[in-house]
Amino acid sequence: MNCVVITGSPHRAGTTALLADEFVRGASEAGHEVFRFDAAFEKIAPCLGCNRCRSGRCVHEDAMDALNPRLLAAETVVFVTPLYYFGMSAQIKRVIDRFYANNEALRENPRRGILMAACHDAEDWAMEGLVAHYRAILRYLNWTDGGVVLAKACGTRGDVENLEYPAQAYRLGRKLAP
Ligand SMILES: Cc1cc2nc3c(=O)[nH]c(=O)nc-3n(C[C@H](O)[C@H](O)[C@H](O)COP(=O)(O)O)c2cc1C
Protein backbone atom coordinates (compact mmCIF):
# COMPACT_ATOMS: atom_id res chain seq x y z
CA MET A 1 0.00 0.00 0.00
CA ASN A 2 1.14 3.55 -0.71
CA CYS A 3 1.55 5.70 2.35
CA VAL A 4 2.61 9.35 2.58
CA VAL A 5 4.00 10.73 5.85
CA ILE A 6 4.02 14.54 6.10
CA THR A 7 5.96 16.00 9.02
CA GLY A 8 5.75 19.58 10.24
CA SER A 9 8.57 20.12 12.71
CA PRO A 10 11.69 22.20 12.14
CA HIS A 11 13.55 19.85 14.52
CA ARG A 12 15.23 17.17 12.46
CA ALA A 13 15.71 14.94 15.50
CA GLY A 14 12.90 16.29 17.66
CA THR A 15 9.93 14.80 19.41
CA THR A 16 7.63 14.26 16.45
CA ALA A 17 10.52 13.17 14.21
CA LEU A 18 10.83 10.12 16.47
CA LEU A 19 7.11 9.35 16.10
CA ALA A 20 7.48 9.62 12.31
CA ASP A 21 10.62 7.45 12.35
CA GLU A 22 8.85 4.73 14.31
CA PHE A 23 5.74 4.80 12.14
CA VAL A 24 7.88 4.56 8.98
CA ARG A 25 9.88 1.68 10.49
CA GLY A 26 6.69 -0.25 11.27
CA ALA A 27 5.03 0.42 7.93
CA SER A 28 8.18 -0.45 5.97
CA GLU A 29 8.60 -3.70 7.89
CA ALA A 30 4.99 -4.52 7.03
CA GLY A 31 5.85 -4.10 3.34
CA HIS A 32 4.18 -0.78 2.64
CA GLU A 33 5.62 1.82 0.27
CA VAL A 34 6.31 4.93 2.35
CA PHE A 35 7.06 8.41 1.02
CA ARG A 36 8.16 10.82 3.74
CA PHE A 37 7.87 14.55 3.18
CA ASP A 38 9.54 16.73 5.82
CA ALA A 39 7.71 19.97 5.09
CA ALA A 40 9.96 22.21 7.20
CA PHE A 41 12.90 21.41 4.94
CA GLU A 42 11.08 21.80 1.63
CA LYS A 43 10.36 24.89 -0.39
CA ILE A 44 6.57 25.30 -0.13
CA ALA A 45 4.88 28.60 -0.88
CA PRO A 46 1.67 29.39 0.99
CA CYS A 47 -1.58 29.23 -1.02
CA LEU A 48 -2.41 32.64 -2.49
CA GLY A 49 -6.12 31.93 -2.86
CA CYS A 50 -5.87 33.15 -6.45
CA ASN A 51 -8.01 30.23 -7.71
CA ARG A 52 -5.84 29.82 -10.79
CA CYS A 53 -5.83 26.09 -9.99
CA ARG A 54 -9.55 26.08 -10.79
CA SER A 55 -8.83 26.77 -14.46
CA GLY A 56 -5.38 25.22 -14.82
CA ARG A 57 -2.53 24.44 -12.50
CA CYS A 58 -1.30 26.04 -9.32
CA VAL A 59 0.75 29.18 -9.94
CA HIS A 60 3.50 27.94 -7.63
CA GLU A 61 6.29 25.67 -8.81
CA ASP A 62 7.83 24.16 -5.72
CA ALA A 63 8.15 20.97 -3.71
CA MET A 64 4.40 20.29 -3.98
CA ASP A 65 5.14 19.15 -7.53
CA ALA A 66 7.02 16.20 -6.04
CA LEU A 67 4.49 15.55 -3.28
CA ASN A 68 1.26 15.77 -5.28
CA PRO A 69 1.65 12.58 -7.37
CA ARG A 70 2.55 10.65 -4.21
CA LEU A 71 -0.43 12.14 -2.41
CA LEU A 72 -2.83 11.25 -5.19
CA ALA A 73 -1.52 7.68 -5.25
CA ALA A 74 -1.64 7.25 -1.47
CA GLU A 75 -4.17 5.16 0.41
CA THR A 76 -2.91 6.48 3.76
CA VAL A 77 -1.71 9.98 4.63
CA VAL A 78 -0.05 10.54 8.01
CA PHE A 79 0.07 14.05 9.47
CA VAL A 80 2.86 14.49 12.03
CA THR A 81 3.10 17.80 13.84
CA PRO A 82 4.27 19.46 17.01
CA LEU A 83 1.48 21.34 18.75
CA TYR A 84 1.99 25.03 17.99
CA TYR A 85 -0.37 27.31 19.84
CA PHE A 86 -3.00 24.56 20.17
CA GLY A 87 -2.96 23.64 16.50
CA MET A 88 -0.70 22.23 13.82
CA SER A 89 2.56 23.95 12.89
CA ALA A 90 2.63 26.49 10.06
CA GLN A 91 5.06 24.25 8.22
CA ILE A 92 2.52 21.44 7.79
CA LYS A 93 -0.48 23.76 7.43
CA ARG A 94 1.11 25.31 4.35
CA VAL A 95 1.16 21.87 2.75
CA ILE A 96 -2.44 21.07 3.67
CA ASP A 97 -3.66 24.42 2.34
CA ARG A 98 -2.07 23.49 -0.97
CA PHE A 99 -4.29 20.36 -1.10
CA TYR A 100 -6.82 22.94 -2.35
CA ALA A 101 -5.47 22.64 -5.89
CA ASN A 102 -6.43 18.93 -5.87
CA ASN A 103 -9.56 18.99 -3.71
CA GLU A 104 -11.69 17.04 -6.14
CA ALA A 105 -9.17 14.27 -6.77
CA LEU A 106 -8.36 13.98 -3.08
CA ARG A 107 -12.04 13.67 -2.17
CA GLU A 108 -12.81 11.14 -4.87
CA ASN A 109 -10.98 8.05 -3.66
CA PRO A 110 -11.37 6.64 -0.20
CA ARG A 111 -8.22 7.30 1.82
CA ARG A 112 -7.21 7.01 5.41
CA GLY A 113 -5.69 9.73 7.58
CA ILE A 114 -3.54 9.32 10.67
CA LEU A 115 -2.55 12.06 13.12
CA MET A 116 0.55 11.97 15.30
CA ALA A 117 1.41 14.97 17.46
CA ALA A 118 3.43 15.99 20.50
CA CYS A 119 3.13 18.83 22.97
CA HIS A 120 4.60 20.09 26.21
CA ASP A 121 1.38 20.29 28.23
CA ALA A 122 -0.17 17.33 30.00
CA GLU A 123 -3.76 18.60 30.31
CA ASP A 124 -6.37 16.38 28.71
CA TRP A 125 -7.69 19.28 26.61
CA ALA A 126 -4.26 20.33 25.27
CA MET A 127 -4.80 18.81 21.82
CA GLU A 128 -8.57 19.19 21.51
CA GLY A 129 -8.30 21.97 18.95
CA LEU A 130 -5.81 20.07 16.84
CA VAL A 131 -7.88 16.89 16.89
CA ALA A 132 -11.08 18.77 16.00
CA HIS A 133 -9.27 20.35 13.04
CA TYR A 134 -7.91 16.98 11.92
CA ARG A 135 -11.37 15.42 12.10
CA ALA A 136 -12.90 18.29 10.10
CA ILE A 137 -10.25 17.86 7.39
CA LEU A 138 -11.00 14.12 7.18
CA ARG A 139 -14.73 14.74 7.07
CA TYR A 140 -14.37 17.24 4.24
CA LEU A 141 -12.05 14.97 2.26
CA ASN A 142 -14.23 11.86 2.82
CA TRP A 143 -11.29 10.08 4.43
CA THR A 144 -11.51 7.69 7.35
CA ASP A 145 -9.49 7.92 10.54
CA GLY A 146 -6.71 5.35 10.80
CA GLY A 147 -5.70 6.33 14.33
CA VAL A 148 -4.06 9.02 16.40
CA VAL A 149 -0.98 9.20 18.62
CA LEU A 150 -1.13 12.20 20.96
CA ALA A 151 2.10 12.52 22.90
CA LYS A 152 1.23 14.88 25.74
CA ALA A 153 3.78 15.98 28.35
CA CYS A 154 6.42 15.58 25.63
CA GLY A 155 8.17 18.91 25.29
CA THR A 156 11.46 17.32 24.32
CA ARG A 157 12.85 14.27 22.58
CA GLY A 158 14.04 12.99 25.94
CA ASP A 159 10.47 13.08 27.28
CA VAL A 160 8.96 11.09 24.43
CA GLU A 161 11.77 8.53 24.35
CA ASN A 162 10.78 7.41 27.84
CA LEU A 163 7.07 7.05 27.17
CA GLU A 164 4.91 4.62 25.23
CA TYR A 165 4.23 6.93 22.25
CA PRO A 166 7.06 5.79 19.94
CA ALA A 167 5.85 2.19 20.41
CA GLN A 168 2.30 3.30 19.59
CA ALA A 169 3.57 4.96 16.40
CA TYR A 170 5.50 1.82 15.45
CA ARG A 171 2.44 -0.38 16.01
CA LEU A 172 0.23 1.92 13.91
CA GLY A 173 2.66 1.53 11.01
CA ARG A 174 3.17 -2.19 11.53
CA LYS A 175 -0.55 -2.92 11.65
CA LEU A 176 -1.52 -0.68 8.76
CA ALA A 177 -4.20 -2.61 6.91
CA PRO A 178 -3.45 -3.38 3.27
C1 LIG B 1 5.91 28.07 18.49
C2 LIG B 1 5.63 26.99 19.48
C3 LIG B 1 4.35 26.83 19.97
C4 LIG B 1 4.06 25.83 20.88
N5 LIG B 1 2.78 25.72 21.34
C6 LIG B 1 2.49 24.75 22.25
C7 LIG B 1 1.16 24.63 22.77
O8 LIG B 1 0.24 25.34 22.41
N9 LIG B 1 0.94 23.67 23.71
C10 LIG B 1 1.93 22.83 24.16
O11 LIG B 1 1.66 22.00 25.02
N12 LIG B 1 3.18 22.90 23.63
C13 LIG B 1 3.49 23.83 22.69
N14 LIG B 1 4.76 23.93 22.18
C15 LIG B 1 5.76 22.89 22.53
C16 LIG B 1 5.94 21.82 21.42
O17 LIG B 1 4.71 21.34 20.94
C18 LIG B 1 6.75 20.65 21.96
O19 LIG B 1 7.98 21.11 22.45
C20 LIG B 1 6.99 19.54 20.95
O21 LIG B 1 7.53 18.40 21.59
C22 LIG B 1 7.95 19.95 19.84
O23 LIG B 1 8.06 18.89 18.92
P24 LIG B 1 9.24 18.79 17.83
O25 LIG B 1 10.52 18.56 18.59
O26 LIG B 1 8.88 17.62 17.00
O27 LIG B 1 9.24 20.07 17.07
C28 LIG B 1 5.08 24.95 21.29
C29 LIG B 1 6.39 25.10 20.80
C30 LIG B 1 6.66 26.13 19.92
C31 LIG B 1 8.08 26.28 19.41
**Residue whose CB lies within 8 A of the most ligand 1 atoms, among 6, 88, 119, for a mutation test:** 119
Q: Which stretch of DSSP H or E encloses residue 64? A: helix 64-73
Instruction: Confirm or reject: Cβ of 125 under 6 Å from ligand 1.
Output: no
Instruction: Confirm or reject: Cβ of 155 under 6 Å from ligand 1.
Output: yes
- Helical residues (DSSP H) of 83-127, grouped into ranges: 90-97, 103-108
For the entire predicted model, the pTM comes to: 0.98
Q: What is the pLDDT of residue 178?
A: 72
Residue 19 alpha carbon to ligand 1 centre in Å: 14
Q: What is the pLDDT of residue 84?
A: 98
Please list the pLDDT of the chain residue by residue as tens digits (178 residues). 999 999 999 999 999 999 999 999 999 999 999 999 999 999 999 999 999 999 999 999 999 999 999 999 999 999 999 999 999 999 999 999 999 999 999 999 889 999 999 999 999 999 999 999 999 999 999 999 999 999 999 999 999 999 999 999 999 999 997 7
Q: Are 35 and 70 in contact (CB under 8 A)?
A: yes
All residues at 6 or more sequence positions from 19 whose CB lies less than 8 Å from its CB, including other chains: 80, 116, 118, 149, 151, 160, 165, 166, 169
Atom of ligand 1 nearest to the CA of 87: 8
Atom of ligand 1 nearest to the CA of 83: 17
**Residue whose CB lies within 8 A of the most ligand 1 atoms, among 19, 84, 121, for a mutation test:** 84
**Half-sphere exposure (CA, 13 Å, Cβ side) for 38?**
15
Residue 155 alpha carbon to ligand 1 centre in Å: 6
Atom of ligand 1 nearest to the CA of 17: 26
Phi, psi angle pair for 149, to nearest 5°: -125, 115
Residue 147: closest CA among 138, 158, 157: 138
Residue 42 alpha carbon to ligand 1 centre in Å: 20
Please, what are the domains in the chain? 2-174 (3.40.50.360)
